[in-house]
Copies of this chain bind each other. A is one copy, B any other.
Amino acid sequence: MFDVLKEDSATKARLGLLKTPHGKVTTPAFFPVATQGTIKGLSSKEIEEIGIEGILVNAYHLFLRPGTKIIKEAGGIHKFMDFHKSIASDSGGYQIFTLEGLRKVREEGVEFQSHLDGRKFFLTPQEVVKIQLEIGSDIILPLDECVKFPTPFDYARLASYRTVQWARKSKCFWENSGKKNSLFFGIVQGATYPSLREYSLKEILNIGVDGVAIGGLSVGEPQNLRYNILSFITKILMKEKKNYLVYFMGYGKPQDILDAISLGADLFDCVVPTRFARTGTAFTNQGKIVVRNAVYSEDYSPLDRECDCFVCKRFTRAYLRHLFNAKEMSAAYLLTYHNLWWYNKFMEKIRESIKEGSFLAFKEEFLKEFEES
């Protein structure tokens, strides 16, 4: 499922190849977020043009709307969206646990109210896997309990214990489903407590998984704590005989990606490139620019002179600034396209640098240009 093709000598960065039922994903990779079955502002036509190898949809959102029945009848999520590369599906654990007041966690699962219409649901770990199998996801993520920072040790222990129990039930359901045309990832929880992270990881490896997702980080903890935990996890994993893909969930600013790759992370997803686009922020090799700002109203240069996406080839910052200022929806479309194109090239450059043994030099050079501006 996952092969490490090359390891960096100076860091824990590595080049890898993940095989899913819908193709190959070269890692380190970034999956844009398509929560409701679309990357906001784009269609699968543009996702293909950009060259994106995988996306992340959200099982919780799709379960509520349009419902698994419709996606199943449509022939699965790939056919529904007309996107035929890899699709991972988040369990919705994170969404459910951020609905404080709207949910109640029990040993058997989670009771919650729909954020759309208040309807009540009780979802077990098994049902969450069932939803993902029905929509036809390539990468299944089990229901987990994500705690915020800071969380007292006792509660974090309870939550990571429960997450392990749920992972076991999820895996069992997945194995017995007879529809194993998917990969099953485990999610490591345990907040910022190394002992809980270690417990969580070892249990998940015992259960047997195709990849290790790290949840419950980037939820407000200091960066050094976050990276200690990541490093702690990848260190344990490197002692394993099998190569496990490391998926850092919900993380993905350019600097963050570089840091996490240095510590052994292979896969990322994050709303940053798409959400920033909608509010008028573009990524360039010289750093972020808030193109909706008045300072760009007479700037007749492209978003990024080094970018070869159609937005940069055709339009100026002045035009894009005008579109944002005039509240034209094409503004968000164009910036989303550019940001994802830029992210895709960024990941390509990272992989290239690992291949050539120059990852650290690339990282330093990139950050110098990106952060100084």
Contact A74/B300 with A65-B322, A80-B319, A326-B65 known, Cβ cut-off 8 Å: yes
Pair B298/A82 contact, Cβ less than 8 Å: no
Is A153 close to B, CB under 8 A?
A: no
- Report the nearest B residue to A65, measured CB to CB: B326
Question: In the complex where A74-B300, A326-B65 touch, is A43 in contact with B333 (Cβ < 8 A)?
Answer: yes
Q: Which of B43, B74, B323 lies in contact with A330, CB distance below 8 A?
A: B43
In the complex, whether A106 has a CB less than 8 A from a CB of chain B is no
Number of copies: 2
Query: A28 interface residue, CB < 8 Å from B?
Result: no
Interface residues of A in 63-101 (CB under 8 A from B): 65-66, 70, 73-75, 80-82
- The answer to whether A334 touches B43, judged by C-beta atoms less than 8 angstroms apart, is yes
Query: Are A42 and B330 closer than 8 Å at their CB atoms?
Result: yes
Structural contact, A314 and B45, CB atoms closer than 8 A: yes
CB neighbours of A39 from chain B (8 A): 330
The contact of A329 among B74, B297, B318, B329, by CB within 8 Å, is: B329
List of B residues within 8 angstroms of A321 by Cβ: 66
A42 partner residues in chain B, CB cutoff 8 A: 330
Instruction: Indicate whether A328 reaches chain B with its CB closer than 8 angstroms.
Output: yes
Give the distance to chain B from A295, nearest Cβ to Cβ, in Å.
Answer: 13
Q: Which of B40, B75, B297, B333 contacts A66 (CB 8 A)?
A: B297
A300's nearest neighbour on chain B, judged by CB, is B74
Cβ–Cβ < 8 Å partners of A66 in chain B: 297, 318, 321-322, 325-326
A287 within 8 A of B: no
**Across-interface contacts of A73 in B (CB, < 8 A):** 298, 300, 318
Shortest CB distance A39–B (Å):
8
Mask: chain A, 23-61; 1 = CB below 8 Å from B; 0 = not:
000000000000011111111110000000000000000
B residues near A121, Cβ cutoff 8 Å: none
* A310 adjacent to chain B (CB < 8 Å): yes
**Could you show 20 A-B contacts with beta carbons less than 8 Å apart?**
A36-B328, A37-B323, A38-B323, A38-B330, A40-B330, A41-B329, A43-B311, A43-B315, A43-B333, A44-B314, A45-B310, A65-B322, A66-B297, A66-B322, A66-B325, A70-B318, A73-B318, A74-B300, A74-B318, A82-B314
